[in-house]
A = this chain, B = another copy of it.
Amino acid sequence: MAEQLSTEKHDMILGAARKRFAYYGFSKVTMDEIAADVGMGKASLYYYFPTKDSLYHEVIKHEAEQFFSGINSMLTEKIPACKMFRSYAGKRLEHFKTLVNLRALSLQQSAETKASSLELFKDFHKHEVEILQHILQIGKKNGEFSVSNPQQTAEVILQMFYGSRAWFLKIKENSLDEEAYVEMESSMKSMIEIIINGITIRK
Chain A positions near chain B (C-beta within 8 angstroms): 109-111, 118, 122, 146, 149, 152-153, 155-164, 166-167, 169-174, 186-187, 190-191, 193-199, 202
Q: Are B194 and A194 in contact (CB under 8 A)?
A: yes
Q: Which of B149, B159, B171 contacts A164 (CB 8 A)?
A: B159
Q: Are A190 and B160 in contact (CB under 8 A)?
A: no
A163-B162, A166-B162, A170-B109 given; A153·B194 CB < 8 A? yes
Q: Known pairs A160-B191, A162-B163. 9 more at Cβ < 8 A?
A: A109-B170, A110-B170, A152-B186, A152-B190, A153-B190, A158-B167, A161-B163, A163-B164, A197-B197
Question: What residues on B are CB-neighbors of A118 within 8 Å?
Answer: 173
Greatest chain B CB density within 10 A among A152, A171, A198 is at: A198
Main secondary structure of the interface of A (DSSP, over half): helix
Question: What residues on B are CB-neighbors of A194 within 8 Å?
Answer: 153, 156-157, 194-195, 198-199
Q: Which of B156, B193, B195 contacts A187 (CB 8 A)?
A: B156
Question: What residues on B are CB-neighbors of A157 within 8 Å?
Answer: 194
Q: Which of B153, B173, B195 contacts A110 (CB 8 A)?
A: B173
Q: Which of B162, B172, B190, B195 contacts A167 (CB 8 A)?
A: B162
Chain B nearest CB, measured from A6 CB (Å): 38
A110-B170, A110-B171, A164-B163 given; A152·B187 CB < 8 A? yes
Of all chain B residues, the one with the shortest Cβ separation from A160 is: B160
Inter-chain CA distance A122–B173, complex, in Å, is: 12
A163-B159, A195-B194 given; A111·B187 CB < 8 A? no
